[in-house]
Structure 1
């Protein structure tokens, strides 16, 4: 089994789509480790609505290609279209310590080092895990990260009756 880490985002009916994604992940992969849910202003995304983002880790034997295909099917099942606001976005951030391109997927995902809405929940969920390329712990990467204009804040969020996230 290999640890898989995905980033989840939604711009439209955020709570509904994030919950649907968590349900689908749990049904397919079993036990999930879930970060807090963060709201942020849109960065490089269509529309002007705020976005919900979180990071989820789970164990799987699936190949990178199978994981990516699952992500795309789940996005489409939740109304994702190529243009317009994003109902659900699932990015494969990492699969074990793989680095390079696997079945057309670049790992680890570049967004880890680029966006606060990816790195902060990742650093909170897996603070001692190391970035496969830099070798730095995610907590260290977050501590040295300059978010600039990338504002984000935790929000209250429950899933299956469990509190996943609380606002500060």
Structure 2
């Protein structure tokens, strides 16, 4: 089993899509952990605010199967196959880490978003503060403490009515 970290984001019917993604991701592994949900302003374009979070779980799926599964989930939940970066989306699922794998081919691991976006790093710091990023001697908590970019981001209390679980 490999521990993987996935970022989730949505700014179209965001409660529905984040909840649906979590439900689907729970089918892919065990020992599922999830950060709080954060609301963030879009980066690089104008549009509705996003809901973002990070989940971690252990999976027996290979990296390529996991990547294909996430892309299929995005399509199943309404993301256009030719969707561009920096636009509104129903669901965005990105592999941040896959065990200790480091690679420069797609998917690039560790994903650079860990270092660039508060909406990835803060939620990740909640569930794995002592984790060291492969190829980096710093922990996630250290990276978050050193994070200097101003990005509007705040935790929200979201309650999913179907399950009555608060995230």
The TM-score with structure 2 as length reference comes to: 0.91
Give the number of equivalent residue pairs.
Answer: 161
State whether residues 28 and 59 of structure 2, in contact with CA within 8 Å, keep that contact through their aligned partners in structure 1: no
**Residue 68 of structure 1, CA deviation:** 0.6
State whether residues 42 and 50 of structure 2, in contact with CA within 8 Å, keep that contact through their aligned partners in structure 1: yes
Unaligned runs of at least 5 residues, structure 1: none
Distance 1:134 1:80 in 2: 33
Structure 2 partner of 1:95: 98
Unaligned runs of at least 5 residues, structure 2: none
C-alpha RMSD of matched pairs (Å): 1.4
Alignment of 1:47-86 (within 5 A): 47-81=46-80, 82-83=83-84, 84-86=87-89
Structure 1 partner of 2:153: 152
Distance 1:86 1:24 in 2: 18
**Residue 147 of structure 1, CA deviation:** 2.7
Structure 2 partner of 1:135: 137
Distance 1:101 1:63 in 2: 17
- Which runs of structure 1 show a deviation greater than 6 angstroms over 4 or more consecutive aligned residues? none
Post-superposition CA distance 1:98-141 (Å, at most 9, x none): 11136x31100000000101000001110011111222110010
